[in-house]
A and B are shown apart, each in its own frame.
Chain A
Amino acid sequence: MAAAAELSLLEKSLGLSKGNKYSAQGERQIPVLQTNNGPSLTGLTTIAAHLVKQANKEYLLGSTAEEKAIVQQWLEYRVTQVDGHSSKNDIRTLLKDLNSYLEDKVYLTGYNFTLADILLYYGLHRFIANHDCFVYKKMRIVTGGPHVCL
């Protein structure tokens, strides 16, 4: 899924009606958002966090210092590890790690649904598209929460 499409999807699920236009930068097609009141914003997680604030849903970025740091950690994980040019083998390791992290948790921060869950879900989605059953089974565990219908 292209980053712009992903961000539009996020806008919808956040209840933002306006619909921003995104441009893409460089060979990795990094999304860029031109904001009304200031310089443009570059980068998927940066823009996503910005949209969350626009929608007055700051709780999606975490409530405590600990949660905020954890949310940002998994957002970074999404753009560096999940979006990295990973081999099949890396993907397995990644899913294994996520699976073992989530074993005793409902969401990435524990009990609260956050932006990290949304973007990680979007990011992992492309592995499902491969119809790889092994991967899919693991995915069920990762995305087992009620937000699957997002």
Chain B
Amino acid sequence: MRLFVSEGVPGCLPVLAAAGRARGRAEVLISTVGPEDCVVPFLTRPKVPVLQLDSGNYLFSTSAICRYFFLLSGWEQDDLTNQWLEWEATELQPALSAALYYLVVQGKKGEDVLGSVRRALTHIDHSLSRQNCPFLAGETESLADIVLWGALYPLLQDPAYLPEELSALHSWFQTLSTQEPCQRAAETVLKQQGVLALRPYLQKQPQPSPTEGRAVTNEPEEEELATLSEEEIAMAVTAWEKGLESLPPLRPQQNPVLPVAGERNVLITSALPYVNNVPHLGNIIGCVLSADVFARYSRLRQWNTLYLCGTDEYGTATETKALEEGLTPQEICDKYHIIHADIYRWFNISFDIFGRTTTPQQTKITQDIFQQLLKRGFVWQDTVEQLRCEHCARFLADRFVEGMCPFCGYEEARGDQCDKCGKLINAVELKKPQCKVCRSCPVVQSTQHLFLDLPKLEKRLEEWLGRTLPGSDWTPNAQFITRSWLRDGLKPRCITRDLKWGTPVPLEGFEDKVFYVWFDATIGYLSITANYTDQWERWWKNPEQVDLYQFMAKDNVPFHSLVFPCSALGAEDNYTLVSHLIATEYLNYEDGKFSKSRGVGVFGDMAQDTGIPADIWRFYLLYIRPEGQDSAFSWTDLLLKNNSELLNNLGNFINRAGMFVSKFFGGYVPEMVLTPDDQRLLAHVTLELQHYHQLLEKVRIRDALRSILTISRHGNQYIQVNEPWKRIKGSEADRQRAGTVTGLAVNIAALLSVMLQPYMPTVSATIQAQLQLPPPACSILLTNFLCTLPAGHQIGTVSPLFQKLENDQIESLRQRFGGGQLEETFDLKAKTSLKPAVVETVTTARPQQIQALMDEVTKQGNFVRELKAQKADKNEVAAEVAKLLDLKKQLAVAEGKPPEAPKGKKKK
């Protein structure tokens, strides 16, 4: 028999540890294959380990392979072992997979990882201590021990994940881990890289769903069908029959959009992206795209909606960037504002306004709020010790000074934080400080700054939150962050900075200072509206009539839930405050964070070059929206979701429904005579539509998308069961039945096109054009499912909506956009003991990594030249030169050249 195993696949641990049991009874040949190899001919998905028996049969279950080895050694099956193995497969494995995924793919630590397996670990520990045996099924080590040990080893070999208090588990695990077969198995599978050896394998696994989510996504199909009452069905049928008549007239488009008394007025803001960066996918899903879905939904509900955003342009980072690129701050802002606007246009973001913060309105409104706060005693002056560069004749803001970290001695610590040890630094504490612009040594001088007295405003804030939070749709993380700031007590905050690029402070003695961005950035929403309409106060000083939804990533919460509300409450000018604060968690890229400097991840401008349409990006980002917990972007998953959900499910259904109308009924919607089964389907679709509304009203964007896919699945099943393509060739009754099924299906397709509009606006418009859906039905979504394509309606030309994504296409994109493995490539290179095949793959770095290195070499080269030109300190120059040489060496390695002989041939 032949045992197929693979490095880095967890199931191979117990199998290899148990293989020795068969020795003397059978010959086991061990073959190493790739983790993605399809060894078993009848299984669609790759599966390793696999045991091919001499009879030709395959064992593809890890436990069954181990069991077989034990059976060969004469062991007898027993209930207790069966029970442990069943528990391992159904309870332990899902929990462990989730924990390993969080740890290895998402880089989480501590309780985030342990949380999902703690219950299972405790269960083992209790069982061991209760039965008072050293092993799971008795006095000697047996099958259950090996299988569970193998499953647990990757996680528990790191002592951080083997809780001390579980002492029985602890000693059981140690006993097994020190045995020779287990040690050798661990050596073979993990290659002394610990749990990281599993990374390539785990990356291919689907992201674990949170336990509470599991029940929601897939199970309900049958149950919901069962709960329909006769009354519900009757109501759904009545609503359906009313059809287009029940649609209200379309709201006339206003310009500008202003609140209307007696209507629902929804003001939506997306966090203002900082101007000097190109946004990555995480930024896009975090605010602009999420807010866009809600804005589009809100318009479909005929709510009076204004959606605004803009670039946040003031601040240190802009000034630094301007120095870097040799432009003025204004030129930098102009340049990047256009980049941002273009990206969002490509993503089809439906802003009513996309403005910017560097406008006279910003100055006017910020200064006005400041004056009100000053007048009411919420602002005070204080003296601050600060670094001043005599050469540049100015006080240095945090980011304009570098020096040695007072904590760890790192040479290039920034004025606010050390990049090496991560500690926050007060700029005056830096050792050997340097002005970043001229490199001269600044001196400590005292200067005046303004402080916002948040402690004095805390009570008002608490009162407002007490009125606002109950019954609102603030996301749990936003509430949590806000509460924890309040629990620690608010502290006075400095609101001025020594910069030129900002909103001037209208106070004598502050001519050289501007407002700190976190005081005036959130005022940007107001000034952007003011640039859109001179009646901006009807939105922003109208809390009674306006519902304000603010979208952001969670790091932005305090500015929106505490700082701006405090400023606005202190100014006592009846400002509109946030009613629903919607914060997302973080989106990771494959296994790590998006990183511009390392060229890792997909950035807004690059998404356009992938050849994947904007709507597919929108769909996938919304499908994995980090709602409630972090999530990760994965190319493989993108391919999977496109091909399964869009192509096979949604696209397939809508296309079939339309095609039947064209092919069988000459393009005219046929007569529909509903049977009780059809009526049940109607009611079922209605129920799912209402569920969609409930979710979107609560801004649960990701969950609501699932409702669309569920309806489409029902549609597919309906067509499949009723087979209109067969009935059309049958008797008169059969043909009528084919007509009803086709008519109902195409109406479901029409409904889906409207529900899809917030998520995939272009696809939605394409479907509506294909079906020639009447205009009011395209722009209004009621809570009932209506017959919007009545019998006799003529549809247009139907064509497929989605394209299949191919593996090699996705693989080449993955390579182009990197996977954060640059450093590892070189680590592996150093280990010459690896098999030749492996070395081959790692020595040839991806072209994009080479490009990143080339860029770094160029950058470092320029920096060294600059230093030399400035006649900088010799030691410093030497250090930078050493860095440059090191980079060049890395580049040579990446290109496959011998480091000292640059003329060597490039490896292909």
Contact = CB atoms under 8 A, between A and B. Distances in A.
B639 interface: no
Chain A contact residues: over half helix, strand or loop, or mixed? helix
Interface stretch (A8-16, A41-49, A141-149): A41-49
B720 A133 contact: yes
A76 B86 contact: yes
A132 B721 contact: yes
Contacts of A42: 83, 86-87
Contacts of B720: 132-134
Nearest to A136: B721
B42 A97 contact: yes
B42 A73 contact: no
A131 B44 contact: no
Interface in B384-404: none
Interface in B180-216: 214-215
Given A43-B83, A45-B82, A65-B71, A130 B61 contact: no
Interface residues of A, number: 43
Contacts of A28: 90
A66 to B, nearest CB: 6
Contact of A69 (B64, B93, B721): B64
Interface stretch (B51-59, B434-442, B896-904): B51-59
Contacts of A93: 44-45
A97 B44 contact: yes
Contact of A85 (B53, B214, B222, B716): B214
Contacts of B219: 85
Nearest to A48: B82
A70 B40 CA distance: 14
Contacts of A103: 42
B67 A72 contact: yes
B67 A68 contact: yes
Given A93-B45, A97-B44, A68 B77 contact: yes
B57 A66 contact: yes
Contacts of B179: none
A133 B705 CA distance: 27
B882 to A, nearest CB: 55
Contacts of A87: 218, 644
B59 A69 contact: yes
Contacts of B57: 66, 70, 110
A26 B606 CA distance: 47
B221 to A, nearest CB: 8
Interface in B546-573: none
B63 A72 contact: yes
A4 B783 CA distance: 40
A76 to B, nearest CB: 5
Contacts of B45: 93
B60 A73 contact: yes
B64 A70 contact: yes
B648 interface: yes
A46 B82 contact: yes
A85 B41 CA distance: 25
Interface in B63-116: 63-65, 67-68, 71-72, 77, 79, 82-83, 85-87, 89-90, 93
A18 interface: no
Contacts of A72: 61, 63-64, 67, 77, 82, 85
A100 interface: yes
Contact of B90 (A43, A61, A129): A43
Interface in A95-150: 96-97, 100-101, 103, 110, 126, 129-134
Contact of A45 (B43, B86, B214): B86
B851 interface: no
A89 B82 CA distance: 30
Contacts of B222: 126, 129-130
Nearest to A129: B222
A71 B59 CA distance: 10
Nearest to B61: A73
Contact of B64 (A76, A89, A100): A76
Contact of B79 (A49, A70, A77, A88): A49
Interface in A34-71: 41-46, 49-50, 61, 65-66, 68-70
Given A45-B86, A69-B67, A70-B57, A97 B43 contact: yes
A69 B71 contact: yes
A24 interface: no
Given A97-B43, A131-B721, A80 B90 contact: yes
Contacts of A126: 222
A132 B723 CA distance: 11
A86 interface: yes
B574 interface: no
A46 B86 contact: yes
Contacts of B77: 49, 61, 68, 72
B472 interface: no
Interface string B487-510: 000000000000000000000000
B698 interface: no
A14 B549 CA distance: 63
A110 B82 CA distance: 23
Pick the most buried of A85, A129, A132: most chain B CB atoms within 10 A of its CB: A85
Nearest to B218: A85
A89 B644 contact: yes
A127 to B, nearest CB: 10
A104 B549 CA distance: 61
Nearest to A66: B53
Identify which of A42, A86, A87 gathers the most chain B CB atoms within 10 Å of its CB.
A87
B735 interface: no
B55 A66 contact: yes
B89 A96 contact: no
B713 interface: yes
A85 B211 CA distance: 12
B812 interface: no
A73 to B, nearest CB: 4
Contact of A89 (B42, B65, B648): B648
B717 interface: yes
B217 interface: yes
A79 to B, nearest CB: 5
A101 B67 CA distance: 21
Nearest to B54: A66
Given A69-B59, A86-B218, A79 B67 contact: no
Contacts of B723: 133
Nearest to B214: A85
What 3 pairs between A and B have smallest CB-CB spacing? Answer: A73-B64, A69-B68, A65-B71
Given A49-B82, A88-B713, 17 more contacts: A27-B215, A28-B90, A42-B86, A43-B82, A43-B90, A45-B86, A61-B77, A68-B71, A69-B64, A72-B63, A72-B77, A73-B61, A73-B64, A76-B89, A79-B89, A86-B218, A129-B222
19 contacts: A28-B90, A30-B90, A42-B83, A42-B86, A43-B83, A43-B90, A45-B86, A66-B57, A69-B59, A72-B82, A73-B61, A73-B63, A76-B64, A76-B89, A88-B713, A93-B44, A131-B721, A132-B721, A133-B720
